[in-house]
Amino acid sequence: MTGKLIGVLIYLGIIFYLGYRAWLKTRESTDYMLAGRSMNPFVLAMSYGATFVSTSAIVGFGGVSGMFGMSLLWLTFLTIFVGIFVAMVFFGKRTRRMGLALDSHTFPEFLGRRYGSKFIQQFSGVVIFVFIPVYAAAVLIGICRMLEVAFPLVTYGAWLLIVTAIVAVYVVTGGLKAVMYTDAFQGTIMAVMMLILIVTTYTLLGGVTEAHQALTDMVGMIPAKLAKGGLTGWTTGPNLQSPIGLTVYTTIIYGVGIGVLAQPQLAIRYMTVPSDRELNRAVAIGGIFILLMTGVAFVTGALSNVVFFQKFGKIAITMAGGNFDSIIPLYIDKVMPGWFSGLFLVAMFAAAMSTMSSQYHVGGTSLSRDFLEQYVTVGNNGSSMKLNRLGVTVAIIATLVWAWLLPGGVIARATAFFFGLCAASFLPIYLLGLYWKGMTKTGAKVSMVGGFCFSMFWLLFVHVKEAGFIGLCQAMFGKATLVADAAPGSWMWLMQWVDPNVVALPVSLILAVGVSLATRRIEEKHLELCWEGLC
């Protein structure tokens, strides 16, 4: 207990020092919203990675790999190839250059100015502000539940207030500079802890080859329920035409792996560096970081089956009492050395805070810059800063309210919900806006609104994880999903496990291209401004 407390206090001392340094350097709106466009590649890469990877990836999806096996490593591949390489090289460079030409300070403002549409800026800003607090609340719930277990003398409600206050202090005052400085430090802690975790795990099992062979040999121990759902082994991929296969491949791998490209809290980081050179250098750093985060979490989660069986005679999901969110915490508590548990708690604290701080910042600036400033006259830079800080404060309060109201076990669902909405709403108009001059204002509006509405429909009425949890379909039609009464095993019945992105994203893309081909092009003068420095 004392060791954990000392570790947390040292960690917080460094966080507040970095926040103070950022506050001293934050004097203009560009500093607050874009970190002064002066970040170096290490800070960029670590901040990007630490924002992307939170407790949901390490604890949540790490636990899922304990149940479903190493097929989740395809998500690691996608997050490195798509989330780092494609994002930095093909999205990052053009976003930075176009954002500079259009003097954009937020992701919604970037989209709005690209198409010359206040509606696009306001709509996207409202979507982000309304829904990102739910995502942030899920992360807040996760870390507060861990702190409640580690320090039982402090109640869960008190931890909600304490953690919120800690993050609020440096985000509200220091803006994106504070967020990125602290993210880089937090990401470094996370990387070191995950490196220790994987080395210890392989050492316990006698080496890499021995560990993976032992897991392969446990195929006969797969629970009947998981086998019926489509799981074929912990080192082989599940059957694609099964509930588990569709969940793994469409929601976890495709949904998150592709959805990362349209995350506003990540996209804004491309505009925080002074040149393309920083983005190029960030690719290698970010790739190694993501490999250490997701790769280690997924491998350790799967191999926990071997370790738990050798030590306790149980597989991971049985050891956790059926709750996969408990697999990684149990592994740390029961298997790893005692000194590591305190350090791991600090690492999870860092993972949660790095993600939440970015969520607070992007949610707050979406409210202030992209909505309120469209209706409120801002006299000078100081007034704009005050409005931005007010927006961030409102976003933090909204997150705290959601954290009080939401039940536990919502991290993965909230993550999938937000990723799906962002991908369907923003990805087609973002991608085409960067590369296609024929994309029109009307096409962008129809694609954004159409993708949002279709994604919401699928989440509320078809996808069983969200539809069943929210309960609107049950209340309106008397069944968990619209296809719940289809013949079991039929393609219509299986649609309940198909991620919204698989359907909504193509619909949004078709709307963007089709409507743009049928409507008037944007004026050439504006396109020349957008493409300034791109060719």
∠ CA 15-133-502, rounded to 5°: 115
212-226, 346-360, 451-465: which range is least confident on average?
346-360
Share of the chain above pLDDT 90, in %: 56
Side-chain-facing half-sphere of 23: CA atoms under 13 Å: 13
61-75, 76-90, 284-298, 374-388: which range is least confident on average?
374-388
What is the mean predicted confidence (pLDDT) over 265-278? 91
pLDDT at 383: 65
What is the mean predicted confidence (pLDDT) over 458-466? 89
pLDDT at 31: 82
- How many angstroms separate the CA atoms of 1 and 141, rounded? 21
Q: What are phi and psi of 336, to 5 degrees?
A: -75, 155
Token couple for 62: 């790490």
255-264, 274-283, 439-448: which range is least confident on average?
255-264
What is the mean predicted confidence (pLDDT) over 112-120? 96
- How many angstroms separate the CA atoms of 9 and 2, rounded? 11
pLDDT at 386: 80
Among the listed residues 143, 175, 135, the one whose alpha carbon sits nearest the alpha carbon of residue 28? 175
Instruction: Classify residue 488 as exposed, middle or buried by CB count within 10 Å of its CB (0-12, 13-18, 19+).
Output: exposed
The sign of the dihedral angle between the CA atoms of 129, 132, 138, 143 is negative
3-state secondary structure of 9: helix
Residue 374 CA: distances (Å) to CA of 10, 32, 44, 113, 125? 42, 19, 30, 13, 11
Token couple for 472: 């609107």
pLDDT in tens, 67-107: 999 999 999 999 999 999 999 999 999 999 999 999 999 99
Q: Is the pLDDT of residue 379 over 70?
A: no
Top mean-pLDDT range of 135-149, 339-353, 468-482: 468-482
Q: Are 145 and 156 in contact (CB under 8 A)?
A: yes
10-19, 146-155, 352-361, 429-438: which range is least confident on average?
146-155
What is the mean predicted confidence (pLDDT) over 379-404? 82
Residue 166 CA: distances (Å) to CA of 163, 188, 353? 5, 20, 9
Contact residues for 280 (Cβ-Cβ < 8 A; gap 6+): 41, 88, 89
Among the listed residues 470, 453, 435, the one whose alpha carbon sits nearest the alpha carbon of residue 511? 453
Token couple for 184: 């880089």
pLDDT in tens, 48-72: 998 888 777 788 888 889 999 999 9
Q: What are phi and psi of 158, to 5 degrees?
A: -65, -40
Q: How is 400-448 classified by DSSP, letter by letter?
A: HHHHHHSPSS-HHHHHHHHHHHHHHHHHHHHHHHHH-TT--HHHHHHHH
Q: Are 327 and 301 in contact (CB under 8 A)?
A: yes
What is the mean predicted confidence (pLDDT) over 5-16? 80
Q: Is the pLDDT of residue 27 over 80?
A: no
What is the mean predicted confidence (pLDDT) over 333-354? 84
Domain segments of the chain as ranges: 2-411
What is the mean predicted confidence (pLDDT) over 185-199? 92
pLDDT at 287: 94
Residue 92 CA: distances (Å) to CA of 48, 266, 366, 378? 12, 10, 20, 30
pLDDT at 54: 77
CATH 1.10.3470 fits 2-411, yes or no: no
Instruction: Give me the chain's average pLDDT, please.
Output: 89
Residue 58 CA: distances (Å) to CA of 38, 65, 67, 76, 375? 30, 10, 14, 12, 41
DSSP state of 532: T
pLDDT at 15: 86
Token couple for 112: 């709005």
Among the listed residues 128, 179, 37, 175, the one whose alpha carbon sits nearest the alpha carbon of residue 370? 128
Token couple for 120: 């696009």
Q: Is the pLDDT of residue 2 over 80?
A: no
Q: How many CB atoms lie within 10 A of CB 221?
A: 12
Contact residues for 481 (Cβ-Cβ < 8 A; gap 6+): 461, 462, 463, 464, 467, 468, 473, 496
| HEC assignment per residue over 105-164 | CCHHHHHHHHHCCHHHHHHHHHHHHHHHHHHHHHHHHHHHHHHHHHCCCCCHHHHHHHHH
pLDDT in tens, 473-532: 999 999 999 999 999 889 999 999 998 889 999 999 999 999 999 999 999 999 999 998
Residue 330 CA: distances (Å) to CA of 63, 274, 304? 10, 44, 10
pLDDT in tens, 422-451: 999 999 999 999 999 999 999 999 999 999
pLDDT at 466: 82
pLDDT at 378: 59
pLDDT in tens, 33-45: 887 788 999 999 9
